[in-house]
Amino acid sequence: MSQDPVTAQLTQLTALWHQTIPIAAQMGIRACTFDGITLKTSADMAANRNLHGTMFAGSIYSHATLTGWGRVWLALQAQELEGDIVLAEGHIRYSKPVTELPECFCEAETVDLSALRRGRNARVDLTVALGDAARFEGRFVVLPAGR
């Protein structure tokens, strides 16, 4: 039995992370669900625990960054475009410790990649939330493929 297209994309995204960003595999980051607007990801709590028994702040930042990157990747797939996604700027605010399964959510009704169609860099500002424990705001840039 074949996977539905969204599940196949999420499987492909998770495999891409694990194959090209070794820390993503070590952190147990997975793309879980996507409804066309919101991407939900999770990470393995045990692999990201610090000496206080909570999630390591660097892991929270990495998890949020990959979630935003993944939302841009899904937009590229939907718009049948190619490009190299990089994080140009990121800021995170930690509100409380993470003690349970880490799940990040990135909601973007639209992702404007029109500049990429013209051979220019596309800038995408996204917000990623890890429940009420952390909020990441990042600017991703998509460089035209082959540049």
* pLDDT classification of 1: cutoffs 50, 70, 90: low
Length of the chain: 147
* pTM to 2 decimal places: 0.96
Question: What domains are defined for the chain?
Answer: 5-144 (3.10.129.10)
Tokens representing residue 53 in the block:
């028994």
In the chain, the amino acid numbered 118 is R
What is the 8-class DSSP label of residue 46?
G
Q: pLDDT for 89-107, tens place per residue?
A: 999 999 999 999 999 999 9
